[in-house]
Structure 1
Amino acid sequence: MGRRLMDRSIQIRTRQSGKNALGESLKDFADGRTLKASHTPVSDGERFRAGQIEAASVSRFVVRYSAYSAAITQDDRLMFEGAEWQIKGLKTLGRNRWIEITAWRN
């Protein structure tokens, strides 16, 4: 894996659940930590081969492995450059050295 250029900032938004005063279920996101990350857009050719043809931006973000980053799930969201991204995949790289987050936004 080597060295990675962690020149971007992302914020993880964690899904929160609870009930309002009427007892109705609420599902909202709370701002979490800001992490340094590398950012790589997924190419159109790669998206086509994976069967993803929708008009969405797909990117991979790589962050350092930590207890916090290892707890990120697909229920969470990612904020990057003012837009909210839906997390589609998570992968541990390099013997718990990095976490790769695949995310998309419309």
Structure 2
Amino acid sequence: MARFSYDRSVQFLRAEIVDDGFQSRRGEYRPHGPRCWAAKSEISDAEKFGAGSVVPNLQARFRLPWSNFAAGIAHTDRMACEGRVYAIVGIKEIGRRAALEFTTASVTP
């Protein structure tokens, strides 16, 4: 397995659930859990084009060492890194509990 430099500090964000008595909906995103170290790689324009993506936002992959906390992150959560917030669009396990890879798309400019 290739070595990755876990040199980026990331914070996961989870939306609070707001219940007004009639319905439950997602509220504001707040920090969830501790800050984690991750390896970040940008998704190239050629890779986006090859996949048929026409999304104009920044897309990146973050790889984190496997942990119970990281394994509990859902697609509905978000991730903040270096002043940018990313929506999680894909999660996959690398190896047998070796790492988790999060494919993301930025939601902030």
- If the length of structure 1 is used for normalisation, what is the TM-score? 0.90
User: Runs (4+) of structure 1 moved beyond 2 Å?
Assistant: 22-26
Q: Output the amino acid matched with 2:37.
A: K
Deviation digits for residues 25-84 of structure 1 (CA, Å, limit 9, x no counterpart): 341222012110000000000001111112110000000101100011110000011111
Question: How many residues matched?
Answer: 105
Unaligned runs of 5+ in 2: none
Report the Cα distance in structure 2 between the residues aligned to 1:37 and 1:95, rounded to whole angstroms: 18
Report the Cα distance in structure 1 between the residues aligned to 2:25 and 2:54, rounded to whole angstroms: 32
Report SS of the residue matched to 2:12. Answer: strand
Name the structure 1 match of 2:44. 43
Question: What is the CA-CA distance between 1:2 and the residue it aligns to?
Answer: 3.1
Q: Output the amino acid matched with 1:14.
A: R
Name the structure 1 match of 2:85. 84
Question: What is the CA-CA distance between 1:3 and the residue it aligns to?
Answer: 2.2
Unaligned runs of 5+ in 1: none
Matched residues, percent identical?
A: 29
Alignment pair present for 1:58 and 2:59: yes
Name the structure 2 match of 1:30. 30
